[in-house]
Structure formats: C-alpha cells, structure tokens
Amino acid sequence: MHGEILCRDGTLQNTSTLSDRLDERLFRTLYATSLVYNTCWEDPAVDRQAVNLRPDDVLLVITSAGCNALDYALLAPKRIHAVDANPRQTALLELKLAAVRGLEFDDFFSVFGDGFHPEFRDLYGRRLRGQLSDFARDYWDRRLDWFASKRGSFYFHGLSGLVACAFKGYLALRPRLAAHVRALFGASSLEEQRTIYDERVAPEMWGPTMRWALSRQFTLSLLGVPHPQRREIEAQHAGGVAGYVRESLEYVLRQLPIWSNYFWRLYLHGRYTHSCCPEYLREENFALLKGGLVDRIVPHTSTVTDFLRGSDEQISKFVLLDHMDWMASHYPQALVEEWREILAHAAPRARVIFRSAHARPHYLETICVDGVRLTEHLSFHENLARELTRQDRVHTYAGFHICDVPA
C-alpha cells in the first residue's frame, strides 16, 4: 500500500492562499541561491543527551552549517553522514573539514571563531582549496572576502548573517539599548542577568519596530523559516511570531546562563570567544578532530530520501532538524517517502530526533507508511524531550521530538 497524507475528513486538500504562495516563492528563491545558515541553531549539548552516541553508531544528520556534525564527531561514533539538499551548506562543511586538516589551531579559530583572518586568501589557496569538491571550490573562490574583510565577519554573511548584521545596525541606532544589551551579556549570575533584562533591556527592546520586523516573512525567510512554520507558530501563540520570539528569548535571557550561550552571543558580536564557543572550536577538541575524528564525517549534497535510497548502511541515529515542517506543507508525499526510507534503513532500536515549530505537528498523526500511521511505527520519549527542552540554549522550537524505531 502506498503512503499518503490524509486530512481529517479523509481527503487531500491544498489550502494555501496567494500570499502563502508568494511567501513560498520568496523562500525557495532565497534557499536556491544562498547559504542560509552560517552556524547551527540547534543545541548539540541537548542533542548529545537525546541520542546517547556509542562507538558503533552510524548517524545521519542534516548538515546545516556543519558545526553540530563536528560536535558529534568528538564522541567518536563509527560514521556521520552529513546530508543537505543545499550544496552551499555542504560547501561550508567541506571548508571546515579542510581547515581542520590543513590549519593549525590559532589559524582555525581566527577563521571560524573570529570569522576573520587577515591572511585568509593565502591560507585558502595553499592549504584549503585543493581539498574541496568542484562546487565548493567554485563557491568559496568567489567569497574569500567573507573571511578576509577587516570591516566585518563571516558571521555577518549568508542569509541568517544578514539578520545579525541588521540587528547590529539597529543597536547602533539605539545606543542606550545597545549599552543595556552589552551589560546583559556581561552578567555573571542569573539574578543579575534577570534584573538587567527585566529593568533595562525588555522595556527598550520590545517596541513596535521590533514587533514589525519579526512579523515580516522576509525576515523569517532570511532566518530559514518558511511560511508553513510561521503558520504553525501563529496557530498556537496569541501574540503571533513576534510574541512567540519574545517568549522564547525571555526564557533564554531569564532562565539560562548567558555567559555560556554562544548561540545568541554570536549574533550580537559576530564572533565567538575562546571561553564561549562551540566544542569544535576548543583547542583540545580541535586536536581530537585533527587526530582522525574529522575523517568520520562524510558530506553529501542530497535529500534524505535520495541518500538513503543509495545506501545499504543501517543508520542507528537520525538528527533531522526541522525540515519536515516545510515538506509536510508543500511535498507531503515526499515526506511519506522519506519516512519510508528512514524506517527501512533504521537499525534495530534506532533513535530519531527532530524539531518543529509546533509542539505536536499534524503530520505525525496524518502520515501513513504502508498502511500504518507513523505514530504507530515509533515510540516517543516525551518526558525526556520536555526535560531537554528546558536546557536548550537556543529555545526557538516549540516542539522537540525524540523517538525510537522498535526492533
């Protein structure tokens, strides 16, 4: 029996409006021509606890910016297949892998920690370029200034980098708010952090301009959020996207220590510090990657479905990010096929983690694979997911889902 997506009345329907279709065309255009993510926006410390990696594990992960694939490699699994349909994301991971192999730590940190190296053009030509695929080589040949310009940082490039750059410009126009934000990120205790946020930052930041900017689909598209995810957010939050973002950020800024939150610090400063950075940027971990762990990462430019169809390997851990929200809206049958391949290639008791803009995305109830609802194929760990969500330093997803494929 073929898989299918069913509406509640048993029919297939397309309810998209003209505005939806225009938003989707904008997103596709940006995605098809741009590097969307210059850093990963999923907390690997949470993912590590969710997947519980072992030495014999074979992972399939959505590449994004490649940061988290490098993080998982530090736990020495057997192999990590980093898969992304956007070749520019693969090109970024290739550049990172080449830099691990070809650079010493100080140069590596300057490139991917500071986002700037004054001699990047030379390093690229002598040590990195020859390791890249044809697409990646052509892509970076034309973008060396992203790492070599004294005026900025790599992390102000790509679509999400444009949003960070715009926020930096916004703070330049609001010097009092900028001073309050700097004080917030300089806090050394949660009590101090909450006080600064409540009394100084919040009253200044959440005005009409910020609410308007966060409500624009163009802004969300730059951040890699398609309009189906926007609709999911609006359906469950009375304050719309702006209200949801405020609530999420307030949790981060009031409940979690800011001094170790490299995600939000990066978008303020455009660079990491040695004490606040992803694990792959720490000197001792760089040495482990360079010592051989980097070779366990295999990049692929492909959809998840096509990769699995071309592989005879059993996958024990799947890290699927949030791409299924978009597929469920625009390519429902393709999402059915993806889950069919996941189930077919999953090792006994394989673990799958994914995120969603909705706490309980509708596709979990409507997807059928070979006549069986998806939820009946999987065993969910809802208590663990709720606990880990409370620790998530990014905290922008309403749903974090952890499930197993039974043996």
Q: Are residues 293 and 200 in the same domain?
A: no
Q: What tens digit of pLDDT does each residue of 107-166 get?
A: 999 999 999 999 999 999 999 999 999 999 999 999 999 999 877 899 999 988 988 888
pLDDT above 70 for 218: no
Count: domains in the chain:
2
User: Dmax over Cα atoms in the chain, in whole Å?
Assistant: 62
- Beta carbons within 8 Å of 68's beta carbon, 6+ residues apart: 40, 42, 44, 47, 61, 319
Looking from the CA of 25 toward its CB, the CA atoms found within 13 Å total 7
In a domain, 271, yes or no: no
pLDDT above 80 for 85: yes
Mean pLDDT rounded to a whole number for the chain: 89
In a domain, 269, yes or no: no
pLDDT-above-90 percentage for the chain? 67
Residue with the bigger pLDDT between 213 and 30: it is: 213
- How far are the Cα atoms of 28, 66, 215, 225, 360 from residue 232, in angstroms, in the given order? 19, 27, 14, 11, 10
Q: Are residues 331 and 371 in the same domain?
A: yes
**Using 50, 70 and 90 to split pLDDT, how confident is the model at 29?**
low
Give the per-residue pLDDT at 160: 87
d(C-alpha 80, C-alpha 395), whole Å: 25
Structure tokens that stand for 333 in this block: 């049958």
**Centroid of chain to Cα 71:** 13
d(C-alpha 395, C-alpha 405), whole Å: 26
**Using 50, 70 and 90 to split pLDDT, how confident is the model at 195?**
very high
Pick the last residue of a domain from 258, 288, 322. 258
**Centroid of chain to Cα 190:** 26
Q: Identity (one letter) of the amino acid at 128?
A: L
pLDDT above 80 for 33: no
In a domain, 189, yes or no: yes
Q: Are residues 394 and 285 in the same domain?
A: yes
Query: What is the C-alpha R_g of the chain?
Result: 21
Residue with the bigger pLDDT between 50 and 397: it is: 50
Average pLDDT over residues 203-212: 84
Contact 330, 322 (CB under 8 A): no
Q: What tens digit of pLDDT does each residue of 227-239 get?
A: 566 666 666 666 7
Give the per-residue pLDDT at 364: 87
Q: What tens digit of pLDDT does each residue of 51-68 get?
A: 999 999 999 999 999 999
Average pLDDT over residues 264-288: 95
Give the per-residue pLDDT at 224: 57
Give the per-residue pLDDT at 194: 97
Nearest to 68 by CA among 97, 41, 36: 41
Q: Are residues 225 and 175 in the same domain?
A: yes
Give the per-residue pLDDT at 366: 87
In a domain, 304, yes or no: yes
- 178 backbone φψ class: left, alpha, beta (φ>0; ψ -120 to 50): alpha
Q: What tens digit of pLDDT does each residue of 341-353 get?
A: 999 999 999 999 9
Give the per-residue pLDDT at 305: 98
Contact 194, 3 (CB under 8 A): no
d(C-alpha 155, C-alpha 169), whole Å: 14
Q: Are residues 379 and 302 in the same domain?
A: yes
Q: Are residues 20 and 65 in the same domain?
A: yes
Q: Are residues 295 and 251 in the same domain?
A: no
Q: Which residues constitute the domain of residue 244? A: 168-258
Give the per-residue pLDDT at 14: 46
Grouping H, G, I as helix, E, B as strand and the rest as coil, residue 362 is coil
d(C-alpha 56, C-alpha 75), whole Å: 11
Nearest to 37 by CA among 163, 158, 214: 158
Pick the last residue of a domain from 229, 258, 287. 258
Looking from the CA of 261 toward its CB, the CA atoms found within 13 Å total 26
Q: Are residues 286 and 392 in the same domain?
A: yes
Structure tokens that stand for 18 in this block: 């003209």
Average pLDDT over residues 318-336: 88
Q: Are residues 282 and 399 in the same domain?
A: yes
Q: Are residues 49 and 21 in the same domain?
A: yes
Residue 196: exposed, middle, or buried by beta-carbon count in 10 A (0-12, 13-18, 19+)?
buried
What count of residues does the chain have?
407
In a domain, 234, yes or no: yes
In a domain, 137, yes or no: no
**Using 50, 70 and 90 to split pLDDT, how confident is the model at 13?**
very low
pLDDT above 50 for 17: yes
pLDDT above 60 for 6: no
Task: Residue 356: give its domain's CATH number.
Answer: 3.40.50.150
In a domain, 109, yes or no: no
Q: Are residues 291 and 379 in the same domain?
A: yes
Give the per-residue pLDDT at 21: 60
d(C-alpha 318, C-alpha 346), whole Å: 9
pLDDT-above-70 percentage for the chain? 86
In a domain, 360, yes or no: yes
Q: Are residues 306 and 396 in the same domain?
A: yes
Q: How would you classify the pairing of strands 79-84 and 297-301?
A: parallel
Q: What tens digit of pLDDT does each residue of 360-392 get?
A: 888 888 889 988 899 999 999 999 999 999 999
**Using 50, 70 and 90 to split pLDDT, how confident is the model at 4?**
very low
Residue with the bigger pLDDT between 320 and 247: it is: 320
Alpha-helical regions (H) of 52-157: 67-73, 87-102, 105-112, 120-123, 134-141, 145-148
- Beta carbons within 8 Å of 338's beta carbon, 6+ residues apart: 303, 304, 305, 324, 327
Q: What is 304-344 written as a DSSP string?
A: HHHHHHT----EEEEE-TTHHHHHHHH-HHHHHHHHHHHHH
Pick the last residue of a domain from 189, 224, 258. 258
